Structure 1
Amino acid sequence: MAFGPVQLIVLGFDHPRFHGEIIAELERLRASDTVRVIDALAVHKDEDGALDVGHLSNLGQEEAIELGSKIGALIGLGIGGEEGMEAGSIAGAEAAAEGVHVLLESDDAWHVLGDIPNGTAAALLLIEHHWAVPLRDAVLRAGGYRIGDGFVSPLDLVAIGLHTAEEAQRLHAMETARGGTGG
């Protein structure tokens, strides 16, 4: 399995109106081999700060085991060299087969959960950009490497003519407004 770049996206919801639309879109992207959800958490934090966490992934068991094996091998390599890589690969595959969730094992995920205001919800999506595999490989074959990445705000696209100021303001407000305006 060729593995693409991985990104963690954290989305906030003041008054969530979940009707399956987000999951359906992630499934559509998976079916077209555009992205894969490695792991996802849907989190609701009540007014007292208590968390209710649900999981989502659109990896099949075989893909999850292979991914777990690769992640475990990388961790093991960093800790114990080649011997650690082999042990990590086995442990990662076993953990994935048992349904261990990457985000719940991540200190970064728990740090983000602490930032969610009481009485709101959030979605943490750990996605693989499978569409980017051929592009990444072409860049590597050309001797290139990634220096940085990030989302560009619609406001930054006005200066180069990709958005009008009004459209950029509308999109920026939609993307960043707490409580969402829905679309």
Structure 2
Amino acid sequence: MRPTGPVELVLIEFPRSDFKGEIVAELGRLVDAGTIDVLDALLIRKADDGSVEWLEATEGGDAELARIVGEPAGLLATEDVDDISAELAPGAAVGMIVFEHVWARGLTGAVRGAGGQVLDWTQVPPAALEALAAEIEEEN
């Protein structure tokens, strides 16, 4: 199925390559609730010696992550790994997740049905939201 809702790429850095099950559990909850559809996922690790290892979700041995992603869409490629790993500190890891906002399918369909089109769907960076919240708090 071709995505009809907005699609996002999320990068999650783990400075010490420490992974816990909470992230996969939450992704599973969001997928099962019909909120998102995970289209692709990769894990990139840079060893202390600078060597890079990367795995697709279905290769990591995590059955729940493999279930959530299913057959990877092929949206993430070797050049993505190269770009991310070049900036990654030794001993760190990055999880790359591409997902569709399933909840927005109805909204985007309604926009198209009304003769419109979504021109852009931009995520506001968390740092910008935190700065705005701090500014508002200072004013009050």
Distance 1:51-1:20 versus aligned 2 partners, 3 A rule: same
Distance 1:108-1:17 versus aligned 2 partners, 3 A rule: closer
Gaps of 5+ in 1: 69-100, 166-183
How many residue pairs match? The answer is 125
Which protein is richer in helix relative to its size?
1
Give yes or no for the alignment of 1:103 onto 2:104: no
1:128 corresponds in structure 2 to 100
Distance 1:137-1:30 versus aligned 2 partners, 3 A rule: same
**Aligned 8 A contact 1:10 1:125 in 2:** yes
Match of 1:114 among 86, 89, 92: 86
2:7 corresponds in structure 1 to 6
Which protein is richer in strand relative to its size?
2
1:47 corresponds in structure 2 to 48
Larger radius of gyration: 1
User: Which has the bigger relative contact order, CA under 8 A and spacing at least 6?
Assistant: 2
Gaps of 5+ in 2: 58-65
TM-score of the pair, normalised by structure 2: 0.73
Q: Deviations over 1:76-96 (max 9, x none)?
A: xxxxxxxxxxxxxxxxxxxxx
Note the C-alpha offset of 1:129.
1.3
TM-score of the pair, normalised by structure 1: 0.58
Identity %: 31
Note the C-alpha offset of 1:113.
2.5
> Letter of the aligned partner of 1:124 in structure 2?
M
TM superposition outliers: structure 1 runs of 4+ over 3 Å:
none
**Aligned 8 A contact 1:36 1:129 in 2:** yes
- 1:10-159 to structure 2, matched below 5 A, reads 10-56=11-57, 57=66, 58-61=68-71, 101-105=74-78, 107-142=79-114, 143-153=116-126, 154-158=129-133
